[in-house]
Every structure is written in C-alpha cells, then in structure tokens.
Structure 1
Amino acid sequence: MSQIQAFVFDLDGVITDTAKFHFIAWQKLAQRLGFDIDHEFNERLKGVGRMDSLNLILQHGGVILTDEQKDKEAAQKNDEYVELIADMSAADLLPGAREALESVRGAGLKTALASASKNAPAILARLGISDLFDTVVDANLVVNGKPDPEIFLKAAAQLGVSPNACIGVEDAVAGVQSIKNAGMYAIGIGDARVLTRADAVIDGLHQFDVNRFIVKD
C-alpha cells in the first residue's frame, strides 16, 4: 500500500482545451506547404510535441524540409498559436478543473503540471491557476516527448516525491503510456476503450474525487 503524495496533471484536454488553437495553426502551416489536414488527422497530434507533430504533418503531406526550414515553420506556427491563445481566461478552464486542483491542495497533496506545450506557464497565468501548482514541467525542460516517462519523472523529482507515490492525469494515449512508464498510477480523461492502459478513466475533472485515489494498492 503506497500513500499518494502528489498529482501530476497534463494541461491540454485535462485542464483546458487549446487543441482547437493548435489545429488552426497547424492547418495554416499545412496550407502554406500546399496541402490540408482535417480534424481526424489532428487527433494523431494529441499529446505530441511540436517538432514530432511537424514531422507527422510533413509525412502526411509528402513534404520534405531541411532542418532549418522545419525550425522556421515551427517557429511561425508557434507565433500564430500564441496569438490565438492571447485572449484565454479563467472562462477557458474545463468543467471541474479548478475544483479538482483545489481539492488536491486541500487534501495536503502536492501538484505538478507535465505538459508538452512550451507555452504552459503563460497559459496557466491566463487561466488564473498558476498558484495551484508547486512546479511546472514543460517541453522546454525535457529532451524526450511522451510516451517517454521523462516529463513525469522530472515532475516527481521537482516535487521531491517518489514516482510510485504520484498519480498522473492525462487524456492522450501517449500521455497515459508516459505515466505508466514512469511507474505512476494513471487516471485517464476520456474513453476507456481508447485509454486502455489507464488504471481508472473518468469523463473529465468534473467527475474527479480526490478521496477515491489518495491511497492505492
């Protein structure tokens, strides 16, 4: 029986939904290169880092770029994405997100964010919830993207907590795999038929009950 000491949350699709902004920016990039991507393809980019997403898109469009061209396109995509999220506010929190975070803090547990977004700190500030996290680990601080466990292991290390005393919360298959690869208990947000490696699955943080997860076998 391990006593849970911390929760590590993903950002997109768990606390807020910026997928629509990513899609618009990626779609513009694809169109600049002479092809298009649809919402179905965009699902493949869920939880995937910026450069890995770019490589998937280029492969989809049959386009080959030099590393220098990739860097330029990725930077332009990010500039457009940053413009799109500039007007985000607390109104963009997903249902139950603030309450879930506050309940974890109220239970005396630590909280961390593990996000593939390099804009995560800015997004938390716009959502008005920066103070609800003890530490933030984003793509700027890791080498390997999900499903590699690095981001969740780094979050646990920064919290000073053993990974097996942490619970990770993710909505993407790669994210859940990352949590499990880190040796943590995994809560999936979404469809249990998709998030098959999750230890528990809920529809969203509006269904989150910290007392259900504090002590795990």
Structure 2
Amino acid sequence: MQPTAFIFDLDGVLTDTAEFHYLAWKQIGADLGIEVDRELNERLKGVSRMESLERVLAAAPRPLNLSAAEKEHWATQKNLLYQELIETIRPSDRLPGIDGLLNDIRNAHMLLALGSASRNARFVLERLGLADAFDYIVDAGQIRFGKPHPETFVNAADHFGLPYETCIGVEDSAAGIAAINAAGMFSVGIGSPDALREAKYRVDDTTRLTLSGILEAYGIG
C-alpha cells in the first residue's frame, strides 16, 4: 500500500528545542528543591507538560504534596521560561536535512502534518519559517491523551480521512515511537538504537533522513 502522509514531531525532529525544555525544567526543579539532570530530562521527552511535571515531582528527595492549582502554577512557570528561550529561534535553526526531506515529500504529493506534544508548536513553526509547510497541525491543546497514547497521530490521519497504515510518523522519543506504533502506522526514529529500539526504521540524526531511505524501509522502492 502506498504511503499517503507524513506526521512529524517537532522537538528534536524539525529543530532542537530540547535544550530549552531542559533549561526550563532545570530552573523549575531548582525552585522546588529537585535536581533535574540530563538523565531525568530524557524521561521528559515526548510527553505532555503536566506529565513531565509529575515525573519531576516524583524525583523530589522528599514527597511534595502539591495541590492541582499549585501544579498548574509550576507548569505555567515552566512554559513561560520556555517561551522566553524560544524567542531566539530562527529559520537557520531547522535541523540539517529537514528542508530537503519536506520538499521531497511535497514533490511526491504526500500530505504533511505536525503532531507535537507542545502547546507552542505553531509559534515555533512560525519562528522557523515553516508555518505554511504543513497541511495540518496537532498540538497538545487538541487532544486528551499525550504520547505514548496514539491520539496525536490518529487525530492527524482522521483529519485527512486516511487509513492509519498509510501514514508515516517521524519521532525522536520512545514515547513518540510507541504512539506511532500503537496507531498502526510506520514509525521512523531519529536517535540512538537503545532509546528507539521499537522504531520500524531508525537513523542516527536528521542528516541521514531521506525520503528514499524511508520508502525503501516501508516497502516501496
């Protein structure tokens, strides 16, 4: 069956805002008396802001009994810090190889969607100069369940009215790959084999990400 659409994650796939998320969570952790190191940050990738906060709170040296309102406050503070940092993003911050891949997909007459866990997805796309590159955008404000639940990817396919098995999802996190697979789609992972062992096709970084390579792995070529 011919593929009909690509659904891309944002952070770590189109641009690398992961460091900004890390710095923001590190500051929130410091304010709460929790050390957010690189290892903990890896477990925050690809999941929603509130779920990330819960994982940060779980790492506290002693239990913090925060109310729902207090949790909402800290999640909002994290987002404000992140928004300050992403103001610096420019089109030159697109990851290498992404422009060529998007052009090749468009020239092959396949649809393009963005499926991000970030509520700032549209803003980041605008900063990158990619707001018009996608036919549809799914962000955290449109779904009930974040990754690894498949809703993000299912939402995009349903918008287009496409069979799930004809869609290809591109992710850099284990949670994202799990979501793509759970949706019954073809999963493409960008990153280490240890973290992305469930990906149906994987490359080390975006410079190795080509339409021909993906289609060959998918079974077209």
TM over 0.5: yes
Cα offset, 1:97, TM superposition: 1.2
Cα offset, 1:158, TM superposition: 1.5
Q: What number of residue pairs does the alignment pair up?
A: 216
Measured against aligned partners, the alpha-carbon deviations of 1:80-126 in whole angstroms (never above 9, x if no partner) come to 11011011001111111111111111111000000000000000000
SS in 2 for 1:45: coil
Q: How does 1:1-217 map to 2 (within 5 A)?
A: 2-61=1-60, 62-214=63-215, 216-217=218-219
Are the counterparts in 1 of residues 11 and 17 from structure 2 also a CA contact under 8 Å? yes
Query: Which region of structure 1 is more displaced relative to structure 2, 48-57 or 188-197?
Result: 188-197
Are the counterparts in 2 of residues 186 and 198 from structure 1 also a CA contact under 8 Å? yes
TM, length-normalised to structure 2: 0.94
Are the counterparts in 1 of residues 34 and 56 from structure 2 also a CA contact under 8 Å? no
In structure 1, how many angstroms separate the alpha carbons of the residues matched to 2:32 and 2:214? 47
Question: Residue type of the partner of 2:200?
Answer: D
Question: Residue type of the partner of 2:163?
Answer: S
TM, length-normalised to structure 1: 0.96
SS in 1 for 2:64: coil
SS in 1 for 2:132: helix
In structure 1, how many angstroms separate the alpha carbons of the residues matched to 2:165 and 2:131? 25
Q: RMSD between aligned alpha carbons?
A: 1.2
Are the counterparts in 1 of residues 96 and 207 from structure 2 also a CA contact under 8 Å? yes
Q: Which runs of 5+ in 2 are unaligned?
A: none
SS in 2 for 1:180: helix
SS in 1 for 2:7: strand
Q: Taking CA–CA contacts closer than 8 Å with sequence separation of 6 or more, which of the two structures ends up with the larger relative contact order?
A: 1
Q: Which runs of 5+ in 1 are unaligned?
A: none
Query: Which region of structure 1 is more displaced relative to structure 2, 51-60 or 31-40?
Result: 31-40
Identity %: 44
